[in-house]
Amino acid sequence: MQQMAHLPQIPPATLAELQADYLKQATALWNASLGQGDAGSPGDRRFAAPEWRANPAAHFMAQLYLLNGRALQQMAAAVEADDKTRARIRFAVQQFVDAASPSNFLALNPEAQKLALDSHGETLARGLQHLWGDVQRGHVSQTDESAFEVGRNVATTAGSIVFENELFQLIEYAPLTAQVKARPLLMVPPCINKYYILDLQPDNSLIRYAVAEGNRVFVVSWRNPDESVKHLGWDDYIDSGAIQAIRVAQEISGQDQINTLGFCVGGTILATALAVLAARGEQPAASVTLLTTLLDFTDNGVLDIFIDEASVRLREATLGAEAPQGPQLLHGQELATTFSFLRPNDLVWNYVVGNYLKGEAPPPFDLLYWNGDSTNLPGPMFCWYLRHTYLQNELKQPGKLTVCGEQVDLGAIESPVYIYGSREDHIVPWHAAYRSTQLLKGKRRFVLGASGHIAGVINPPPKPGKPPKRSHWIAKGAALPADPEAWFKTTTEHPGSWWPDWSAWLASHAGAAKAAPKAPGNRKYKAIEPAPGRYVKVKA
């Protein structure tokens, strides 16, 4: 009985209130269906087609579904339990509610039924063809994947591979200006996805923008791991990955200090590498840019619901270095599926309905093509990352972790830092990105952008004559209080891209202008092949 008291439960008074409210709304809906009132529009884009309104049974079904969904979500929100348990319950209920939508089923979707009748079954035939194609591909198609090819119409900024090892290829981009700044810029993208999110199309490429601004740009293109590297761990990604890339960029440019940028997990890897070097008495970064990066894992966003001691131990037992069968790969499709179900209506069920029930081929979209181009991860690296950051949050604790033989202290990094967060980011909540300002000790600047994890970052300045997209917030002063909301109260909203603000900040740390190099690499590091290189083209 003592254990029962600690089980999640809804207070009886709250449950009674929810039940009474539900019965009231259900009665009104039933009366409206009998012509004794107006049920109104469902107000949900899944039921926006006129066929839903024209069919009384379907209209009632949609309204009843939305009512039931709201009631279940209210009950989930009312559960008394610890924060993680409540978050897991809310997530599970939301997954069930989204999956149970009548729009997801042919027998309950009047729009799909009308399309099938009007086309004499052709939409259903095409839908079955799309379904079979997706079964063979192993995932729900979100875009026309045949419309894109890496190196042909995505990842097209000109450059050369100037170094490679078992973990990554280093791309040096061809200059677009007669002169470049003396200190190069090294970008470390996330290893969970491929680097070309930073180089989708010329008009929205952060890489091309940085090159056009007069920077000598190097980018890490992580290998898509296979069985030959499934044993690699976090130390390998730091030493043979980020630190090696820093060394090569220094040698090719002839500069003791370089500018650095890390995006998402790439930012966590970069900061760890710089802390390792700081422990060795080295400060190779003239500046550090962190885009939607977690260093303090106190608030992990929605991903936190998947992580506890039991789940991490399970991963270690099945994927890690101590697994009975030896280290294994975490396959990219598992990661991609997990991230898609963080926003199931937008990234799963929307395509189930369109692809299979309506027989519509998804339109070409470069970002969704990149999103589906998944990558594997070595099990030991993934397990270390889960335990020591997401679960135990040790990276923020000076001296707590030993990486590459050195005690890690992020506060030992002396570089000025530009920290960017996205206001609607569900993977790296902006409050969590902001907390990096309290860990790093160099001169810091925090900028908040609109939109989410990807769209907020990939927000280029508009072409001449075009209105700006989204906006960003910059504080009026240099103060960075511990409370992110206190910082936000001091900000001014600026329309358009944050890229020009970052570019101006970067220029102040980039050194004098010099003649652009005539060829990539140097005598030691010669061009191996044209960008984007072989590694990025390997499928998971």
- Annotated catalytic residues are 264
Residue type, 201: Q
Structure tokens at 182: 């003396």
Q: How far, in Å, are 285, 293, 437 from residue 431 at the CA level?
A: 25, 11, 10
Question: 392: left (phi > 0), else alpha (psi -120 to 50), else beta?
Answer: alpha
Paired residues of 445 in beta bridges: 418
d(CA 318, CA 470): 43
Q: Tell me which residue of 526, 519, 524 sits closest to 216, measured CA to CA.
A: 519
Q: How many CB atoms lie within 10 A of CB 380?
A: 23
Q: Tell me which residue of 386, 296, 306, 298 sits closest to 87, measured CA to CA.
A: 306
Burial 423-445 (b: 16+ CB within 10 A, else e): bebebbbbbbbbbbbbbbeeebb
What is the Cα gyration radius of the chain?
Answer: 26
Residue type, 497: S
**Residue 9 DSSP symbol:** B
Q: Collect all residues with Cβ–Cβ distance below 8 Å to 53 and sequence separation of at least 6.
A: 41, 59
Q: Could you give the count of Cα atoms lying within 13 Å of 360 in the half-sphere of its Cβ?
A: 15
Q: What is the 3-state secondary structure (H, E, C) of 154-174?
A: ECCCCEEEEEECCCEEEEEEC
Residue 271 CA, chain-centre distance (Å), reads: 18
With beta carbons less than 8 A apart as the criterion, state whether 258 and 287 touch.
Answer: no
